[in-house]
Amino acid sequence: MNKKIAYGIALILLLVAPQVAYPVFLMKVLCFALFACAFNLLIGFTGLLSFGHAAFFGAAGYVTGWVLRDAGWSFEAGIVVGVAVSALIGLVMGMLAIRRQGIYFTMITLALAQMLYFVFVQAKFTGGEDGLQGVPRGKLLGMLDLGSDMTMYYVVAALCVCGFALIVRTIHSPFGQVLKAIKENEARAVSLGYDVDRYKLLAFVLSAAIAGLAGATKTVVIGFETLTDAHWTMSGLVVLMTLVGGLGTMVGPIVGALVIIALEDKLGDIGNWLADVSHLDWFRTLGDSVTLVTGFIFILCVLLFRKGIVGELVSVFGSRRASDSH
Amino acid sequence: MEIFGIPLQAMLGQLLLGLVNGSFYAMLSLGLAVIFGLLNVINFAHGALYMMGAFLAWMGMEYFGINYWCMLIAAPLIVAAFGILIERTMLRWLYKLDHLYGLLLTFGITLMLEGIFRSVYGVSGQPYSVPEALSGATNLGFMILPNYRAWVVVASLVVCFATWFVIEKTKLGAYLRAGTENPKLVEAFGVNVPLMVTLTYGFGVALAAFAGVLAAPVIQVSPLMGSNLIITVFAVVVIGGMGSILGSILTGLGLGVIEGLTRVFYPELSATVVFIIMAIVLMIRPAGLFGKEK
């Protein structure tokens, strides 16, 4: 019951948010939140650490951007093609990566994503270092003009809610329970007769497709796609968002994405404020050293807050509720 | 003289460059394998520490006028001390947890190191000249051999085989191998395993720094040189498997040579060839060429 109220409140917040904050910023947060949720489906609920999710995010962005701009297809078709391509890449990458376990899985996904990155650097249609510029937003179903940020926001919000609902549904389905069993004890899942590799592959493809949805939507929102989205630092960023929010919690990645994107956006201001308070001029350069700050948060999270924001909240309030009932 | 329409001179030149790259792969993957064996941590920071080694060499020359040979010894020692600090203050707390936290921590360290060097030196490369004793080239008749590149290959081979010798043939190496197999039992025999772990990490990252100093005159010293390399080295590690020391060395050198040859025959593929080989190896021999199926 509580959960339903919480989801209701979140939905209302989602509807009124663009009245308060800048819609493009919110859309960016939504896309990254969906991206992080897709990643969390693997790490939090299947126990697979993929370090190659930028590949799906970037590939879908490039394909959708190209289809909308150069092939002149409609918005819906662009998104569908982007998602399909990233699912296909996920299938190939997954088939190779699930052949090894644990840390090797992570290294393989990282290496394959790097390979795709080099392909994007060399390929003609991506525009190389310049990126793919001037992607038109077009019209939804040929009627609704997406040029207005408000209209676009509600479409993006709807897409992200659908993606999130799909993830929640997957996790609570019998399929999701098998994934959880694989995470807890893979050998036991095998001995119970589950075809573990097939389950892992399906989860991987699903995660890739949803990450693709996030990447495709983001490209349409901001109107261009660059190599940054396919670079390994992007894979690291999505890991960080999930880690900050809470690995394996349902809403953690959303909170994490909001925190990290807001932080990146406001880092310059924070730096100036720190410089004013501490009188250390060095802090003024903070806005230019995003990697330094992300690295620092990474270390802090791994050493001190492994549960993440949502995970810590759950353990504080969860234990209080448990002691209340006694 | 030509082979498949490619001048022999150009081909041998690329082959040598491939061997040079291969020696860096070999040294880095060797360090990764030694660290993983005892600590069960994949050291993502390996690339950043390699970069740090190169930068230390450059800084020594730029600010203090310390020559290449001194820095070849000093930089690995400084980086080893830094590694020991990391192990003692941070990595140590993660051994009982899932492997992934070690990877994430070292990833964070990589980002921080890169961020620091970037904010100070920018992304453009700093030139570092070849030491005088090794400048110039030797004419071998069939090719002109740049002395420095030959030195890189020889020096890294010597270091790699010395490491192999220590680990496989000495008493210290026996402790190390036993520690990899069963640390609790080794500790029960009175060996100071935590100290051994710390020193192993220090040694592994010193190897990376040594490779970094060797690399400084060959490629431009830049804050991004490490992360570009480390991902390829991960692919090398997946291809070779981390079970065997000799395997790591051979795979590293071999892939360097293949990459060099690709640069001659089909340059478009040279950035991706290692990853393609990784994919093929995963299909045929998932455990890696020298790995054991667990």
**The pLDDT value given to residue A1:** 58
Residue A272 CB-density burial (10 A; 0-12 exposed, 13-18 middle, 19+ buried):
middle
Higher-confidence position of A323 and B49: B49
Which member of A239, A285, A290 has the closest CB to residue B104?
A239
What pLDDT score was predicted for residue B108? 92
Give pLDDT, residue A326. 46
Amino acid, single-letter form, for residue B287: A
**Could B112 and A115 be called an inter-chain contact, meaning their C-beta atoms sit closer than 8 Å?**
no
- Report ipTM for this prediction: 0.86
pLDDT < 50 stretches in chain B: 294
Give yes or no for a contact between A196 and A183, defined as CB atoms under 8 angstroms apart.
Answer: no
- Three-state SS letters, chain B: CEECCEEHHHHHHHHHHHHHHHHHHHHHHHHHHHHHHHHCCCCCCHHHHHHHHHHHHHHHHHHHCCCHHHHHHHHHHHHHHHHHHHHHHCHHHHCCCCHHHHHHHHHHHHHHHHHHHHHHHCCCCECCCCCHHHCCEEECCCCEEEHHHHHHHHHHHHHHHHHHHHHHHCHHHHHHHHHHHCHHHHHHCCCCHHHHHHHHHHHHHHHHHHHHHHHCCCCCECCCHHHHHHHHHHHHHHHHCCCCHHHHHHHHHHHHHHHHHHHHHCHHHCCCHHHHHHHHHHHHCCCCCCCCCC
Contact B204, B31 (CB under 8 A): yes
User: CA torsion angle for A62, A67, A69, A73 (degrees, to 10)?
Assistant: -150
Residue of B119, B275, B287 lying closest to A115 (CB–CB): B275
Beta bridge partners of B7: B2
Is residue A112 over pLDDT 70?
Answer: yes
Res A2 pLDDT > 60: yes
Instruction: Provide the chain B residues 219-248 that lie in CB contact (below 8 A) with chain A.
Output: 227, 231-232, 234-235, 237-238
Contacts of A62 (CB under 8 A, 6+ apart): A120, A125, A126, A132, A219, A225, A230
What's the rounded Cα separation, in Å, for the pair A189 and A80? 34
Compute chain A's Rg from CA coordinates: 20
Q: How far is Cα A217 from Cα A78, in angstroms, rounded to an integer? A: 9
Handedness of CA B13, B16, B20, B25 (dihedral sign): positive
Q: Residue A319 has what pLDDT?
A: 64
Tell me if chain A has a CB within 8 Å of the CB of B100: yes
For range A49-53, the mean pLDDT = 90
- Sorted by sequence, the CB contacts under 8 Å of residue B57 that are 6+ apart come out as B68, B71, B72, B75, B128, B212, B213, B216, B221
Q: What are phi and psi of B50, to 5 degrees?
A: -60, -45
B268/A114 touch (CB, cutoff 8 Å), yes or no: no
**Closest CA relative to residue A242, chosen from A25, A20, A51:** A51
Contact state of A292 with B93 under an 8 Å Cβ cutoff: no
Rg of chain B in Å (alpha carbons): 19
Q: Residue B2 — φ and ψ, nearest 5°?
A: -130, 145
Chain A interface includes B109 (CB < 8 A)? yes
Task: With CB atoms and an 8 Å threshold, state whether A119 touches B272.
Answer: yes
Scan for tokens 């991206």, then name that residue.
A35
With CB atoms and an 8 Å threshold, state whether A303 touches B93: yes
Looking at residue A229, the DSSP 8-state letter turns out to be G
Q: How far apart are CA A153 and CA A222, in angstroms?
A: 12
Shortest distance, CA B1 to any CA of chain A (angstroms): 32
Query: Per-residue pLDDT for A286 more than 50?
Result: yes
Q: Which pLDDT value is given to residue A91?
A: 94
pLDDT of residue A169: 92
pLDDT at B228: 82
Does the structure show a pLDDT above 50 at A25?
A: yes
Measured between CA atoms, the residue of chain B closest to residue A92 is B279
Give me the domains of chain A, ranges plus CATH numbers: 23-325 (1.10.3470)
CA angle A125, A130, A133 (to 5 degrees): 70
- CB atoms B231 and A106 under 8 Å: no
Q: What is the pLDDT of residue B2?
A: 63
Per CB-CB distance under 8 Å, the chain B contacts of A104 are: 238
Residues of A in contact with B238 (CB under 8 A): 100, 104, 107-108, 111
Under an 8 A CB cutoff, do A306 and B119 touch? no
How many residues are given for chain A? Answer: 326
Task: Look at residue A49 and give its three-state secondary structure.
Answer: coil
Write down the pLDDT at residue B1.
59
Residue B232 distance to chain A (closest CA, Å): 7
- Give the pLDDT mean for A254-263: 89
- pLDDT in the model for residue B48: 93
The total number of residues shown for chain B amounts to 294
pLDDT of the residue at B292: 65
Q: Smallest Cα–Cα separation from A247: which of A307, A158, A294?
A: A307
Distance CA A8, CA A14 (A): 10
C-alpha dihedral (A238, A240, A241, A243), degrees to nearest 10: 120
User: DSSP H helical segments within chain A, as ranges?
Assistant: 2-20, 23-43, 53-69, 75-97, 102-122, 149-172, 174-184, 186-191, 196-222, 232-245, 252-278, 290-304, 308-324
pLDDT, tens digit (0-9, with 9 covering 90-100), for A130-158: 778 877 877 777 677 777 888 888 889 99
The chain B residue lying nearest A116, using CA atoms, is B272
Angle, helix B147-169 to helix B8-39, in steps of 10 degrees: 30
Chain B residues in contact with A294 (beta carbon < 8 A): 108, 111, 115
- Return the pLDDT at B294: 47
Interchain CB distance below 8 Å, B114 and A291 = yes
Contact A299 B99 (CB under 8 A): no
The model's pLDDT over B45-63, given as tens digits with 9 standing for 90+, comes to 999 999 999 999 888 888 8
Indicate the residue type of A18.
P
